[in-house]
Structure 1
Amino acid sequence: MFRTSHAPRRPGRQPAPAPARLHLALLCALAAHSAAAADTEKTLDTLVISGSRVEVSPFDVPYSVDGVRLDGNGGQGMRVNVSEVLGSVPGVVVQNRQNYAQDLQISVRGFGARAAFGVRGVKLIADGIPATNPDGQGQAATFNLDAAERIEVLRGPFATVYGNHAGGVIQLFSRDGKGAPRIRGSVYAGEHGTYKIGIGAEGEKNGVGFVLDASRFETNGERRYSAARRDQSFAKITLAPDEDSKLTLLLSSLHQPDTDDPQGLDWATYKRDRNAVDRTPLDFSTRKSIDHLQGGAVYERRFGSGRLQLQAYAGQRSVTQYQSIPIAAQANPRHAGGVIDFEREFHGIGARWIMERDIGAGKLTLTTGLDHDRAEDDRQGYENFAGSTLGVKGRLRRDEINTVTSTDPYVQATWQQGDWDWSLGVRHSNVRFEVDDHYVAGANGDDSGSVRYRKTTPAVGVLWRATPLLNLYASFGTGFETPTLGETAYSSSGAFNLGLEPSTSRQFELGLKAYVGERTRLNLAAFQIDTKNEIVGDGAIGGRNFYKNAGKTLRQGLELAVETELAHNLSARGALTVMRAIYDEAFDTIDDGNRIPGVPRVSAWGELAWKPMAGLSTALEAVHRGAVEVNDTNTDKAAPSYTLLNLRLVAEQQSGPWTFSQTLRLDNVFDREHIASVIVGDRNGRYYEPGPGRNVYGGVQASYRF
């Protein structure tokens, strides 16, 4: 949503008395997690680069993009999940499954809502390096929020110029090391054995900037059998080889061993005990271990009014996951077993040339670039039993090399002339999937094969500066989503499903961005998304889901974001999304007009923040989610709507070179029972993942500046 807790003032204007439109404050009754109050001198117009790839004000672009600045005092939470900081962005739904084995469920205008694990349909990028695999599957857990300066969220047609699975784009930007060197330490703790310990150092010395961070997070989980541990580390070095260039070196890691997977619940079990766990995951000790390590370099050099940007990265990821697939199902000779075990090596390069020219009465900004990404999985499958012992690695049932490569050239241009801005972007994606099967045993034949997907995705937009305080815009774009490796891995015959087609979409957006009076800002957008060949569940055999292409779908919605300063030390913010997401034609058992599962009808957020004195702030937050369907036929119980209230208190003190801060949070004040997320189309009817009840946690942080 917006950068600060206080409304912006247009440059050059003096503060005026608080506006009389106090009805805007009602939006704060719909709130979730948000940023702590910021200084009144800061403005809402945080510069962003998502969409245009050059620094611009989000007020002056023909699409929906917001920058969320992360505070440094812990007011936004423990900084373990992006669900703590993205609640304020309209059009975005980040559901914390309370299951660290499956990561967050993130959707942008409905894209990605059906992901059973990880993130699909939404492009994730950290410091210019993709956190999304070339097949479209991403992991938000790799984001290091302790080192993050801001997160940008791009929605709508111009997200499609980021290629495959870019229904939306979420970019994290870490801080550059600046100022005097300093060290910090923090400790946070809460209920259910939850704690996080972090240490870090940052600053600049002899022209070299550095940011170093390491943390450990651990929890027993509110639900039984949901314990998790997550160790993260991060390093960033910035250098200036000369006055016209900058070099950034990055290294990050994630270690997450033996994370419990409690899976979902059916409705009857949830109503009986919201913290329950089904017998099946306990019998098979369902769990997941992740090790992720990557490094990268970004180089930028200026040539007059032009800029050359180069990037390269490489890494490895290993995953071992024990699933609860019944023994009887694995008797099928083509079954891949109940244990997934793979080692992934990935790398990529990117090059971009940005040129700005004054031509006559206008200004042209032209960006041309090329991205190449590759990931190779050495994948095995094993039985999840040995004799009568369940939940152990048994006989080999699958052995293959999966390779996905993507090569994408793109061009973007913006023409600014008078009160009009014209934007154009086009990207050509070439994605290749290749399977080299090494397990050919009896009835389990050779499943080797390959498939290639090609698509050109254009986007156009126009912005009109109707007045100095009001911008109107319109944009259109096309996009596509290939199947992910997980979706092609199985079919009704047991072989790879390389016949799946990519889904394609057309997006339209109309919007306005306005300043109302001196202390209020609002954004309003209306959108429509038409999709063909939506990838949906087709059934399950032996505990394995397989997929098919459905017919047309339609998403129509409105997004509203408002921020206002009610008084010098009192502010309100709000965000509202109303969406109609349906199947637009009948297909098999899916009726025309059925709602798309995983997409809430209404999402709303808000905050009322009070800063009674320097170094002390408090806020009331709330979040509302509408009802959510759980399967394509809309025949099972929808997850009910809910509204939660949260409170926070943040204090900060300075004493010489020392800075101290304390945070206290009370989430779900009224202990409201709710479904935090749903597992779309679960074949056992265990769709529901309960959210936490009332929770209290707090923390302290101290830093020393040399």
Structure 2
Amino acid sequence: MHKPTCAQARRRAPVLRPVAHAMLAATAVLSSPPAAAQAGRDAAAAAPPVSQVMSPVVITGSRVEASAFDVPYSVEGVDVGSASSGNLRVNASEVLSGVPGVVVQNRQNYAQDLQISVRGFGSRAAFGVRGVKLIADGIPATNPDGQGQAATFNLDTAERIEVLRGPFATIYGNHAGGVIQLFSRDGKGEPRLRAGLLGGRHGTLKADVGAEGEAGGIGYVLDASHFETDGERDYSAARRDQAFAKITLAPDADSKLTLLASGLRQPFTDDPLGIGWQTYRRDATAVDPVALQFRTRKRIDHLQGGATYERRFGGDRLQLTAYAGQRSVTQYQSIARNAQSSPNHPGGVVDFDRDFYGLGTRWIAERDFGSGHLTVTAGLDYDRSEDDRQGYENFVGSRLGVKGALRRNETDTVTSTDPYVQAVWRQGDWDWTAGVRRSEVKFEVDDRYVAGSNGDDSGAVTFRKTTPAVGVLWRATPLLNLYASFGTGFETPTLNELSYPANRGGFNFGLRPSQSRQAEIGVKAYVGEATRVNAALFQIRTDDEIVVAGSEGGRTYYANAGKTLRQGLEIAAESDLTRTLTARGAVTAMRAVYDEAFATNPGTGAVAIPRGRRIPGVPAITAYAELGWKPVDGIDAAVEGIHRGRAFVNDLNDEHAAPSYTLINLRLGAEQRSGPWTVTELLRLDNVFDRKHIGSVIVGDRNGRFYEPGPGRNLFGGVRVTYRY
């Protein structure tokens, strides 16, 4: 790591010193003295095992099953079944609020998907998810260029979600500033049917039906759902239909085959855009007039299928994955007519059809090695997407918000080829982990729109990077683990970020990937019989951070800044306070700054960004707390608290920052069983005190529409019914 100068050390000391003291204090309190360590181990051997709720089994990170307590990195397993029991099960934001280091914001705009960042990675995404790797049942929900869609996650069938932060996320390759991986349920047990109907304010309705179970050795999970809302804000209505199918079977005693298919359809989705500060203060439900003028909206059709096969060869395993799919998007934007007068302008309507597919193979071998046990995982991932992309004017004559003349016609292809190897050596009280991945990401553009002064913009660029990670874990006592890890990572520009260079047409093939170096130390501990505490201190240094550089003709273009620095502390805890009361909470404190001055808006409008400015979209403090109460079987209630610190909206930090806020939510659930029937009712009140707040920000918005208001007080309720044969 770069060694700081004396002046730099003095500047950082006020931030790092209290955090370091907190870590050391936690270690001192939770550690057993050396003389008592062996006695503690003997007692643990005789004690009953810790429940899996308190020590969830995770796969993310090691790619083999391991306890989250026994791995040298920050990873959280979220039990989706319990976390989503009092929710609509529409957005991942409903179940990830309690994960430290993660900020998941519902934009209240289904045309742009959720805004997800992990330790600051992904905070600048104006739409979708970037900088964070999304995976569902082993199949990427992130394209090879790094742009992902959390909307494809199906919470009705999810069993758990794992969130990996820190150095070992980097061995998942491009854009793995963090990894969020969903695992759906396998069909097991007696066949059963289920249905649910939930609703709330603003015309919000969620209806779903499903079937799951096992018959003749074949497990199945089937689900279909419909969601609709008129939206919290004006002009933010959306309709979404989802379907999911999973079949599991065992061809023989040593193998397992899983077949998957899913689809998402949003036939129309209004896009209210962001709003300016004065508009927000006047009316948080407002929509910018330009959205109504151009009828900004989006249509999405997404269909994919895949298969995974696992076979055991003694103690070794072979895992194979294959998937393919198709995605179509048509989006009407609010770009003014006169901005499209340049012959190089791609127009105000985005229209593409994407075909994508991929293959993955992995060999897992376990051997006794020396005085310990060695697990080695070696694999190869190949992913490819091909966009047949057109752009059109968003007007015909005086009519706005309609598809007009063709302005863009090309094929964009992105491929990634990534071999990797990872090893874990368990030696007594020590675990040594190392991994390395070699990523090669290639962008190819075949331009078929050559008209007048708009020349042929075809071209290609390939980015390559080797990303190693190492970690060590020490079992100080049976109830206390200490660990440290280090890794390097990289983020290529997304296809969207490459598409618009400054002051000319074509592609910005000069944009470079950002490269990061991450270090982490942490503590994982059990306190007493029913409390688990995790704490991690991390630092991330990044070179060539990709930032919003400016805009021209209604299009945003990007550039590489200098160095950035992220330093932070994460603490998560959960506890069974009494037989009827449970508590859990998480807090993240982070300092995210530009560590080197740079300039945006090259040319006459150049703006200098001084060193030390905060990275926009990254709150300094985030926190979550929940107190649950289950007085008797069949009744449960909880109060939730969510806090977000203020977030800057641009690199210069001179616009109004989104203010900090704290929200309180309540939920109540009841369950009755009678023979084969199970009926569950739920009631949920969000933002109890009707706190006005900004839910998410659009970093560096070219029109100053940085702010996406969050919802006011909302009441939801509904019923779910299950019938078991």
**TM > 0.5 fold call:** yes
For residue 360 of structure 1, report the CA deviation from its aligned partner. 3.5
Question: What secondary structure is seen at the aligned counterpart in 2 of 1:567?
Answer: coil
Conservation of the 8 A alpha-carbon contact between 1:73 and 1:661: no
Q: Does 1:614 align with 2:624?
A: no
Q: Does 1:656 align with 2:658?
A: no
Q: Does 1:631 align with 2:650?
A: yes
Describe the superposition over 1:593-652 as per-residue Cα deviations: whole angstroms up to 9, x where unpaired.
000000000000010101000011000101000000000000100000000000000111
For residue 41 of structure 1, report the CA deviation from its aligned partner. 6.4
Q: Does 1:401 align with 2:411?
A: yes
Q: Does 1:500 align with 2:511?
A: yes
Q: Does 1:463 align with 2:482?
A: no
AA aligned opposite 1:642: Y
Residue in structure 1 matching 2:254, options 234, 244, 252: 244
Determine the structure 2 residue equivalent to 1:6: none
Q: Does 1:704 align with 2:714?
A: no
Distance of 2:336 and 2:345 partners within structure 1? 11
Distance of 2:46 and 2:586 partners within structure 1? 27
Conservation of the 8 A alpha-carbon contact between 1:196 and 1:218: yes
Determine the structure 2 residue equivalent to 1:526: 537
Question: What secondary structure is seen at the aligned counterpart in 2 of 1:282?
Answer: helix
Q: Does 1:509 align with 2:528?
A: no
Q: Does 1:97 align with 2:107?
A: yes
Number of equivalences: 674
Conservation of the 8 A alpha-carbon contact between 2:84 and 2:94: no
For residue 73 of structure 1, report the CA deviation from its aligned partner. 9.3
Superposed counterparts of 1:253-292, under 5 Å? 253-292=263-302
Q: Does 1:583 align with 2:602?
A: no
Q: Does 1:300 align with 2:319?
A: no
Residue in structure 2 matching 1:545, options 556, 559, 563: 556
Question: What secondary structure is seen at the aligned counterpart in 2 of 1:405?
Answer: strand
Describe the superposition over 1:90-130 as per-residue Cα deviations: whole angstroms up to 9, x where unpaired.
00000000000000000000000000000000000000000
Q: Does 1:221 align with 2:240?
A: no
For residue 57 of structure 1, report the CA deviation from its aligned partner. 0.2
Is the deviation greater in 415-424 or in 67-76? 67-76
Q: Does 1:132 align with 2:142?
A: yes
Question: What secondary structure is seen at the aligned counterpart in 2 of 1:318?
Answer: strand
Distance of 2:495 and 2:84 partners within structure 1? 37
Determine the structure 2 residue equivalent to 1:386: 396
TM-score of the aligned structures, taking structure 2 as reference length = 0.92
Determine the structure 2 residue equivalent to 1:339: 349
Residue 343 to residue 562, structure 1, CA distance change in 2 (3 Å): same
Determine the structure 1 residue equivalent to 2:18: none
Conservation of the 8 A alpha-carbon contact between 1:537 and 1:681: yes
Question: What secondary structure is seen at the aligned counterpart in 1 of 2:515?
Answer: strand
AA aligned opposite 1:600: P
- By relative contact order (CA 8 Å, sep 6+), the higher-ranking structure is 1
Determine the structure 1 residue equivalent to 2:87: 77
AA aligned opposite 1:412: Q
Determine the structure 1 residue equivalent to 2:182: 172
AA aligned opposite 1:500: L
AA aligned opposite 1:240: A
Conservation of the 8 A alpha-carbon contact between 1:73 and 1:663: no
For residue 76 of structure 1, report the CA deviation from its aligned partner. 3.7
Residue in structure 2 matching 1:675, options 694, 718, 725: 694
Conservation of the 8 A alpha-carbon contact between 1:73 and 1:701: no
Determine the structure 2 residue equivalent to 1:454: 464
Conservation of the 8 A alpha-carbon contact between 1:75 and 1:649: no
AA aligned opposite 2:645: G
TM-score of the aligned structures, taking structure 1 as reference length = 0.94
Distance of 2:227 and 2:291 partners within structure 1? 23
Distance of 1:211 and 1:566 partners within structure 2? 35
Conservation of the 8 A alpha-carbon contact between 1:241 and 1:247: yes
Superposed counterparts of 1:60-71, under 5 Å? 60-71=70-81
For residue 519 of structure 1, report the CA deviation from its aligned partner. 1.7
For residue 257 of structure 1, report the CA deviation from its aligned partner. 1.4
Conservation of the 8 A alpha-carbon contact between 2:86 and 2:683: no
Determine the structure 2 residue equivalent to 1:149: 159
Describe the superposition over 1:485-508 as per-residue Cα deviations: whole angstroms up to 9, x where unpaired.
000001121221011000000000
For residue 70 of structure 1, report the CA deviation from its aligned partner. 1.3
Residue in structure 2 matching 1:359, options 350, 369, 372: 369
Question: What secondary structure is seen at the aligned counterpart in 1 of 2:57?
Answer: coil
Distance of 1:189 and 1:49 partners within structure 2? 35
Residue 109 to residue 381, structure 1, CA distance change in 2 (3 Å): same
Residue in structure 1 matching 2:621, options 599, 602, 614: 602
- Percentage of identical aligned residues: 71
For residue 538 of structure 1, report the CA deviation from its aligned partner. 1.1
Distance of 2:577 and 2:71 partners within structure 1? 27
Residue in structure 2 matching 1:203, options 210, 213, 220: 213
Question: What secondary structure is seen at the aligned counterpart in 1 of 2:272?
Answer: coil
Conservation of the 8 A alpha-carbon contact between 1:200 and 1:214: yes
Conservation of the 8 A alpha-carbon contact between 1:165 and 1:482: yes
Conservation of the 8 A alpha-carbon contact between 2:81 and 2:158: no
Distance of 1:582 and 1:534 partners within structure 2? 11
Q: Does 1:593 align with 2:584?
A: no
Distance of 1:258 and 1:540 partners within structure 2? 28
AA aligned opposite 1:625: R
Q: Does 1:535 align with 2:554?
A: no
Conservation of the 8 A alpha-carbon contact between 1:534 and 1:551: yes
Distance of 2:364 and 2:83 partners within structure 1? 36
Distance of 1:579 and 1:494 partners within structure 2? 38
Distance of 1:361 and 1:169 partners within structure 2? 33
Question: What secondary structure is seen at the aligned counterpart in 2 of 1:99?
Answer: coil
Unaligned runs of 5+ in 2: 1-42, 600-607
Residue 321 to residue 466, structure 1, CA distance change in 2 (3 Å): same
Conservation of the 8 A alpha-carbon contact between 1:150 and 1:172: yes
Q: Answer 1 or 2: which has greater helix percent.
A: 2
Residue in structure 2 matching 1:686, options 705, 713, 725: 705
Is the deviation greater in 134-143 or in 69-78? 69-78
Distance of 1:65 and 1:272 partners within structure 2? 42
Distance of 1:10 and 1:264 partners within structure 2? 55
Distance of 1:447 and 1:41 partners within structure 2? 59
Distance of 1:111 and 1:522 partners within structure 2? 24
Question: What secondary structure is seen at the aligned counterpart in 2 of 1:491?
Answer: coil
Distance of 1:562 and 1:299 partners within structure 2? 36
Determine the structure 1 residue equivalent to 2:714: 695
Unaligned runs of 5+ in 1: 1-8, 16-39
Question: What secondary structure is seen at the aligned counterpart in 2 of 1:545?
Answer: strand
Determine the structure 2 residue equivalent to 1:181: 191
AA aligned opposite 1:478: T
Conservation of the 8 A alpha-carbon contact between 1:623 and 1:645: yes
Conservation of the 8 A alpha-carbon contact between 1:73 and 1:650: no
Following TM superposition, where does structure 1 have runs of at least 4 consecutive aligned residues deviating by more than 6 angstroms?
Answer: none
Determine the structure 2 residue equivalent to 1:564: 575
Distance of 1:11 and 1:136 partners within structure 2? 45
Residue 73 to residue 119, structure 1, CA distance change in 2 (3 Å): closer
AA aligned opposite 1:632: D
AA aligned opposite 2:545: E
For residue 75 of structure 1, report the CA deviation from its aligned partner. 2.6
For residue 74 of structure 1, report the CA deviation from its aligned partner. 5.2
Distance of 2:222 and 2:329 partners within structure 1? 26
Question: What secondary structure is seen at the aligned counterpart in 1 of 2:334?
Answer: coil
Determine the structure 2 residue equivalent to 1:3: none
AA aligned opposite 2:67: S
Question: What secondary structure is seen at the aligned counterpart in 2 of 1:241?
Answer: coil
Question: What secondary structure is seen at the aligned counterpart in 1 of 2:326?
Answer: strand
Conservation of the 8 A alpha-carbon contact between 2:581 and 2:629: yes
AA aligned opposite 2:588: T
For residue 72 of structure 1, report the CA deviation from its aligned partner. 6.2
For residue 12 of structure 1, report the CA deviation from its aligned partner. 5.8
